[in-house]
């Protein structure tokens, strides 16, 4: 992570009005907070303003509650909704998987090395295959098999794990099941999925083999928030890599795995760093 261990994050959005940047920067100056990074965007179509600021308090006794209370009075004038994130915050996470291990393994490595500030509360799967990987990391592993007849009961058990673990984010790291409309609604804005991204679109089994037969020249991946439209939720990040006639199906699969890992990790990182705003069914993303 590029973020300093001592920086706080202030994110906000409001109707487009004169002085929206000033109300943030002026307050931070008056509060003796040094701005280390700032990005903003004004959606002129929606007349909506978004801002994300990283800052470092100059006073060692910085009081977050007092800061928020004081800024709230300024923000009210602009109908500004805001959130303050502490530098040491570790988001509680549940990871959902099936049989493929590449995305899970990558996330666990980044978790173990501190690259992702997450607190993994559980790994949930519809197969037992990846339990040894979770066990090696000392993480609870829940195996909930699923059939069309048991889907509702299985999702109820998954939801119980999410609720009891206190997870604020769910990561679908190649979880190969379609979530119900009810589950999608419950997890709106706090569940990230990853899938291949190929043109033209190849649905069904062995998409990379289908792509090979068509002679594709690009393979990619898309990470997005889930919604009730399969693989069509608000996009956070996408990755792509050029391929050629010299790449066989197994080569496309291998490159696809790498892109999926990187794209998912980047999306999760952006979410954790409060770089993503959900807006009108899509996203505003302040990438780094």
Question: Cα separation of 216 and 218, whole Å?
Answer: 6
Residue 231 annotated among the catalytic residues of the structure: yes
Among the listed residues 129, 228, 231, 251, the single catalytic one is 231
Name the nearest CA neighbour of 10 among 19, 31, 2, 18. 31
Question: Cα separation of 58 and 65, whole Å?
Answer: 16
Catalytic residue annotation: 231
């Amino acid at each position: 992570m590029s973020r300093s261990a001592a920086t706080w994050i202030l994110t906000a959005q409001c109707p487009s009005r004169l002085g929206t940047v000033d109300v943030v920067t002026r307050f931070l100056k008056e509060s003796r907070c040094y701005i280390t990074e700032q990005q903003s965007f004004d959606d002129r179509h929606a007349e909506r303003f978004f801002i994300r600021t990283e800052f470092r308090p100059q006073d060692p006794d910085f009081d977050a509650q007092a800061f928020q209370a004081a800024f709230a009075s300024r923000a009210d004038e602009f109908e500004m909704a805001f959130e303050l994130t502490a530098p040491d915050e570790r988001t509680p996470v549940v990871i959902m998987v099936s049989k493929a291990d590449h995305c899970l393994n990558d996330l666990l490595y980044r978790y173990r090395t501190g690259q992702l500030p997450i607190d993994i509360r559980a790994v949930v799967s519809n197969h037992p295959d990846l339990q040894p990987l979770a066990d090696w990391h000392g993480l609870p592993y829940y195996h909930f098999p699923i059939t069309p007849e048991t889907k509702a009961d299985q999702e109820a058990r998954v939801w119980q794990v999410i609720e009891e673990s206190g997870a604020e984010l769910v990561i679908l790291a190649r979880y190969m099941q379609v979530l119900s409309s009810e589950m999608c609604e419950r997890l709106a804005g706090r569940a990230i999925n990853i899938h291949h991204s190929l043109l033209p679109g190849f649905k069904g089994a062995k998409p990379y083999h289908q792509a090979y037969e068509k002679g594709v020249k690009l393979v990619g991946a898309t990470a997005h928030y889930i919604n009730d439209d399969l693989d069509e939720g608000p996009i956070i990040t996408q990755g792509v890599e050029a391929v050629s006639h010299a790449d066989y199906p197994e080569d496309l699969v291998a490159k696809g795995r790498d892109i999926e890992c990187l794209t998912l990790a980047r999306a999760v990182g952006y979410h954790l760093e409060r770089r993503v705003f959900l807006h009108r069914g899509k996203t505003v993303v302040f990438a780094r």
